[in-house]
Structure 1
Amino acid sequence: MTTTATHLRTIATRWTDLREALASTGTATWPPAGRMSDYLASLDQADAEALEAERHRALALRTLERDPSQIGETRPPLRISVLDTMRTVEAALVETADQVAAVVQRSPMTFAPRSWPAADRARRSQLARADAADPRRWRFGGRHTAPHTALWLLARVQGAPGPFRPLPDREHRLIANVAAGACERVERALDIAARKAAIARPCPECSGQLEMHGGAGASPVARCTSCGRTWAAQTAAT
């Protein structure tokens, strides 16, 4: 439960960072391009030239989009990868909450029948209205943000009080799986998680498999899985 709770808290607290990252300039791809050695740099040259040409074309398009002669105002370009992450995570969380609520959320209290004494009927009606309007209830078909949904699921995992039955094991596993995947997407979009990727080029020393390690604020490093040699940008092999 601790890990699931951590994942849900991370999603809720990092959502503002994702919004800010929408309009920022992020890294282009993973693994990132870099001059790890003269050998790798020479192989990267053709790709780098193609990328530079693409950047010039993209800049020209953005300049045209923001040209004052164009009709209306244009918004600054968004980081599509971040936007896709936000939409995917939010949709997954809301769908999970719908499924969980259908199992654990009890129906609102019914109103008193007319045959009850007036005082008892009024008291029961007041309780029924309050129960139906309980803000802890999940509203099916409502507009839910990812942070709100993550915190609602966290409350269910932690057994917080409310109009709910205990969370069954199946729903607990569902939340755990979705939270883990969503948290991983958020951290990857913000580049705050350690990452590893295979490089489709052989080691210049032993022809072994190269892997790029980085993320979480660390500078990318290439390492051969066979001979163990490493390369960092603008440094010699170790």
Structure 2
Amino acid sequence: MNTNTTLRTLITLWPDLHTALGDRPIHGAYGLGLRAYLAAIDHHDPAEAAALRAEERDPSQLGNRPVPLNLAIYDTMRAIEAALAHCAEVTAAAVQIEPVPLPGPDWPAADQARRTAVSRADLADRRRWRFGRSTPPATFTALWLLARVERRPGPFRVLTDVQARYVRAVATEALARAQAALDTDSNRMTELGEQHPCACGGRIEVYGGAGATPCARCTGCGALWTEAGVIAA
């Protein structure tokens, strides 16, 4: 599995981890657009988890109580988020181009406003990785890394072979953790026969089970599907 497909598969599995956690799953979120998707998933944090666990263990609490969180899944999700964020920090430090500097006092006065606007717009570019912030959701980081692997436009240099291998290793480990937590790797793959090829002519593998939404992957173009339709191609 190449790095692109690994990261896309991890994004696809993330709602299943939320479901296994006992949290609110996000269905069909890939098609919402990045801003809406991040807003939808960025609702769960360690403080909230601790509060829920405290309430859940309080013997004096009566009536409806929060659904217990699966702490093993929670730990897996946080570990994946931390690993991906560290990978993005290291990668961004190497490939992210410094913003256009603000004009100095010796800059031509007639061009000061234009240069200032260009500098501020470059600094505010949403494609930039923001250093030193709290750990972002794994899906955000996976999408950012995917854009670097696919050489999407932005203020970045192309990944070197060493950098690309590093991203691949981290993504592979992250996906393995997610699949192990969901138990999708033990009974994960059934290959469809030649009667059901992908539009590109490649073979299709179907995997799922143990709480994960069944998912199909083309071994040729890397397209992914669930029961709802195409997730990524």
TM range (shorter): 0.5 to 0.7
| 1:189 equivalent among 165, 176, 181 | 181
SS in 2 for 1:81: helix
Matching residue of 1:164: 156
State how far apart, in whole Å, the 2-side matches of 1:158 and 1:9 are: 12
Deviations 1:83-122 (A, max 9, x none): 1110110010000000000100011111112223323111
Alignment of 1:74-153 (within 5 A): 75-143=66-134, 144-153=136-145
Percent identical among aligned pairs is 50
Q: Which has the higher contact order (CA 8 A, sep 6+)?
A: 1
State how far apart, in whole Å, the 2-side matches of 1:18 and 1:180 are: 17
SS in 2 for 1:135: coil
**Structure 1 residue 69, shift from structure 2 partner:** 3.3
Deviations 1:37-84 (A, max 9, x none): xxxxxxxxxxxxxxxxxxxxxxxxx9x956773489853321122111
Residue 106 of structure 1 contacts residue 164 of structure 1 at CA under 8 Å; is this kept in 2?
A: yes
Residue 114 of structure 1 contacts residue 121 of structure 1 at CA under 8 Å; is this kept in 2?
A: no
- TM-score, normalization: structure 2? 0.62
State how far apart, in whole Å, the 2-side matches of 1:166 and 1:155 are: 11
State how far apart, in whole Å, the 1-side matches of 2:176 and 2:67 are: 27
Residue 194 of structure 1 contacts residue 216 of structure 1 at CA under 8 Å; is this kept in 2?
A: no
Residue 103 of structure 2 contacts residue 112 of structure 2 at CA under 8 Å; is this kept in 1?
A: yes
State how far apart, in whole Å, the 2-side matches of 1:10 and 1:89 are: 14
Specify every segment of 5 or more residues in structure 1 that has no aligned partner in the other structure, as ranges: 25-61, 197-214, 219-238
State how far apart, in whole Å, the 1-side matches of 2:157 and 2:12 are: 27
State how far apart, in whole Å, the 2-side matches of 1:185 and 1:145 are: 16
State how far apart, in whole Å, the 2-side matches of 1:157 and 1:195 are: 29
Rg comparison, structure with higher value: 1
Matching residue of 2:47: none
Letter in 2 for 1:171: Q
- TM-score, normalization: structure 1? 0.61
**Given the superposition, is the C-alpha separation of residues 177 and 79 from structure 1 closer, same or farther in structure 2, using an over 3 Å criterion?**
same
State how far apart, in whole Å, the 1-side matches of 2:57 and 2:82 are: 32
Residue 6 of structure 2 contacts residue 175 of structure 2 at CA under 8 Å; is this kept in 1?
A: yes
Letter in 2 for 1:4: T
**Structure 1 residue 12, shift from structure 2 partner:** 1.6
Q: Does 1:177 align with 2:176?
A: no
Letter in 2 for 1:18: L
State how far apart, in whole Å, the 2-side matches of 1:151 and 1:94 are: 11
Which runs of 4 or more aligned residues in structure 1 lie more than 4 Å from their structure 2 counterparts after TM superposition?
A: 64-68, 71-74
Letter in 2 for 1:94: A
